[in-house]
Chain A
């Protein structure tokens, strides 16, 4: 009888222990963040990070641009409007969520800008309008702070862009001077900070 009880205890011990396990860290179900540096380009970017599993996430980054007198390297946009969407696949090589969690992210993006501006024709300023459609892809690496509902994410990497101009596109070089310009085509440095909230679901 004792032997049977002992055997039963050994067999059931893992089950009993599992039942007594304390809840582990909450599992994030969505991360919502703002990317403040886009404000320098009259842009408002809000990111939504959605988990596929513990290591793989999808990051959707819609951006809205609107502003008057937006300065670029060569010209100033009297009026700027634009929409963009970037989508990234994020991979966290270490699923353990403590301190700063490193990750790598890659994905494509599309941007559309409508720009009203003026150029000099002799001594006369002439109004112009150019539409820019730009495609590209980025590969970045970064760290996300963990341990709180509020998180910070610092990232850096490289990307590539190709712009297609329409409208008054003959003055396209005005939008393609540095990698910060809306009509830039080429390889560029990508870096930034995201700050946001991590919405969690209790994982038991």
Chain B
């Protein structure tokens, strides 16, 4: 009995790709994809990418992102000194599929874009006040905003790791370079740490990794 169950499980496992493939429509005709990039949620970002086929080998990808949060940011990046954020980003990619496979396709993509973000922080600053005709200075705690303009160029390699009917999951890995310029109001005693590669005001080489899931038609 045990052997029969084992054999059945083995057969089902082996047959699964055939069964699932037999139920899929021909996906050669997909010309558009709408893909969600969920990891941006960790940075209070909402990113959906639109892929459009140019020819059998090339696709163009538009990646708009909205960042918004009106309270202290999430704890995942240790950025507890951020009390809110707003931002937009526009990126474009060119994806090249060097092999003409129908499924599990590998690709290389290159692109870049611009990000504008404003982050609210909390710190002390010197504030002057008059008392009995004398000018005194004291610490005043207050919120302040940084505005960051960032340009990034990235290159990555990816693979369609799962396809079922119109559903698609792909993953990519690569690196890039970011040039960020951050303006800050004067007079504050800043206590923000040096930005890490995950922060938007980081300049330098960055890692690129992600997962996208969405639909194609």
Contacts and interface: CB of A to CB of B under 8 A. Distances in A.
Interface of A: 93-94, 96, 98-104, 139, 141, 143, 156-160, 162-163, 173, 176-177, 184-189
Contacts of B67: 187
Contact of B36 (A93, A94, A139, A187): A139
Contacts of A173: 71
Interface residue SS majority, chain A? strand
B38 A158 contact: yes
A94 to B, nearest CB: 5
Nearest to B216: A93
B154 interface: no
Interface residue SS majority, chain B? strand
A180 to B, nearest CB: 13
Contacts of B34: 104, 141
Contact of A102 (B44, B66, B165): B165
A165 B166 CA distance: 41
B69 A94 contact: no
B136 interface: no
A186 B165 contact: no
Nearest to A94: B166
Chain B interface size band reads 20 to 34
Given A163-B70, A186-B71, 9 more contacts: A93-B215, A94-B25, A158-B36, A158-B38, A176-B71, A186-B44, A187-B44, A187-B46, A187-B69
A185 B214 contact: no
B144 to A, nearest CB: 19
30 contacts: A93-B166, A93-B216, A94-B25, A94-B166, A96-B25, A100-B165, A102-B165, A102-B166, A102-B167, A103-B215, A139-B46, A139-B48, A141-B213, A141-B215, A156-B36, A156-B38, A158-B48, A160-B68, A162-B70, A163-B70, A173-B71, A185-B70, A186-B68, A186-B71, A187-B41, A187-B44, A187-B66, A187-B67, A189-B38, A189-B41
A69 to B, nearest CB: 24
Nearest to B32: A93
Among A93, A103, A156, residue most surrounded by chain B Cβ atoms (within 10 Å): A93
Given A176-B70, A186-B68, A186-B71, A94 B44 contact: no
Interface string B70-81: 110000000000
Contact of A99 (B23, B71, B166, B216): B23
A99 B24 CA distance: 11
Given A94-B166, A176-B70, A187-B67, A141 B214 contact: yes
A159 B166 CA distance: 22
B19 to A, nearest CB: 11
Nearest to B43: A187
Nearest to B71: A176
A57 B32 CA distance: 19
A104 B46 contact: no
A182 B40 CA distance: 22
Contacts of A187: 41, 44-46, 66-69
Contacts of B45: 187
A96 B166 CA distance: 11
B143 interface: no
Interface string B166-195: 110000000000000000000000000000
